[in-house]
Structure 1
Amino acid sequence: MLGLILTEKEMKEIEYLLKREMDEILFDFEDERIDYVVKRSMEERYAILFQLFSRITAPVDRVQYIRKRMHK
């Protein structure tokens, strides 16, 4: 287990970066030109980013980033 001490400004920056990356992945999920294998790895990456995001934000802020369904 690791610990990390951040200032409020640093925390907001990390939150912003995570949101931006998750938004980009969500946008790419809609692109039908992207192969299934790539989308599967995108799902894995999104899950990791969402876990990090969940650790630093309130539940109310997470709602819009909860995936409705997994890509099939």
Structure 2
Amino acid sequence: MFGLMLNAKETQEMEYLLKRELEELLLDLTDSRIDGIVKRAMEERYQIIFRMYKRFVNPKEYMKYMRNRQTSKKAEQHRKTE
């Protein structure tokens, strides 16, 4: 466990950075040119960053970035067939 104290401006900056990273990962996860192994690593990274983002914003905000389990399952099935 690691503790971190941030002031209001730093909190806003952290929210912004995490949000941008989530958006970039979502875009990359839809790219068909990216290999399944790489997408699996990206999905794991997405989950970690999403959990961090949830700590900074209210539920209404983080619901926008919640991944659909069906999408994740389809991606996993696709990786297995490759």
Please say whether Structure 1 and Structure 2 have the same fold, judged by a TM-score greater than 0.5. Answer: yes
Q: TM-score, normalised to structure 2's length?
A: 0.83
CA distance in 1, matches of 2:2, 2:29: 32
Larger Rg: 2
Equivalences for residues 14-33 of structure 1 within 5 A: 14-33=14-33
Q: What is the root-mean-square deviation of aligned Cα atoms in Å?
A: 0.8
| Structure 2: 5+ residue stretches without partners | 77-82
- Ranges of 4+ aligned residues in structure 1 off by more than 6 Å: none
Higher relative contact order (CA 8 A, sep 6+): 1
Q: TM-score, normalised to structure 1's length?
A: 0.94
| Structure 1: 5+ residue stretches without partners | none
Aligned length: 72
Q: Which structure is higher in helix share?
A: 2
